[in-house]
Amino acid sequence: MAGAPFPTPAAEERGLEILASIRQAFAEKGFDGASMQDLARAAGMSVGNFYRYFPSKAAIVQAMCGYDLAEIQGEFAEIQSSDRPMAALRERILMHFGEEGMKDGQLWAEITAAAMRKPEIGAASLEMEDAISGFLCAIFARVTARSEAEARQRYDGQCQLLVMLVKAMAMRTAQVGPAKPALEAQVVAVVDRILNDISNDTAKG
């Protein structure tokens, strides 16, 4: 991802360790509330050394997007190789609607808010969402016996909607707790309709 601050494998590994250690502090205090001093303290580093890895808070967000995307890519690879990829995908999506969503929902909320003020963060966020849509389309291509390019053209809107639903539900869970059954049922119904429609839209011949 653009703006990745890791010049060597060793520095990259250390950078990932720092991201893991500051993640909660960044989510709790927010983009504006968390100072570089706060984040360096959370990482157990001096401010000067911290700046060597992350020269700005925008660079931290960009790196976090890249870090999360690498994890998500691994999850999608497992789903893609599953005997029942759509069922595995549905299970993974629904995990974000409950307690699982609380882990990342607050951070996503902060990144989304910062993206409205900082173009570079907005670009990183959009790049991440576009990559996730690509992972989804790879699964849909397999299920419908289409090329990935054709699946991307055909299902891009559905992919964007799924990404939006997952983010929205995770952020809501982090802020006010899990959705009430009536709301969750409506969202799950939308997810099921999208997945069922795509499953039934196999290529002819």
pLDDT along the chain (205 residues), means of 10: 50 81 82 88 91 89 86 92 96 82 76 86 91 96 96 96 92 83 94 97 82
Which pLDDT value is given to residue 2? 43
Global model pTM greater than 0.85: no
CATH of domain 58-199: 1.10.357
* Inter-CA distances, 60 with 35, 78, 123, 126, 172, Å: 12, 28, 14, 16, 23
Domain boundaries, the chain: 58-199
Rounded to whole angstroms, how far apart are CA atoms 186 and 178?
14
User: 104: closest CA among 57, 158, 67, 55?
Assistant: 67
Which pLDDT value is given to residue 8? 54
How is residue 135 written in tokens? 């992972």
Give the E-state strand segments of 133-189 in sequence order: none
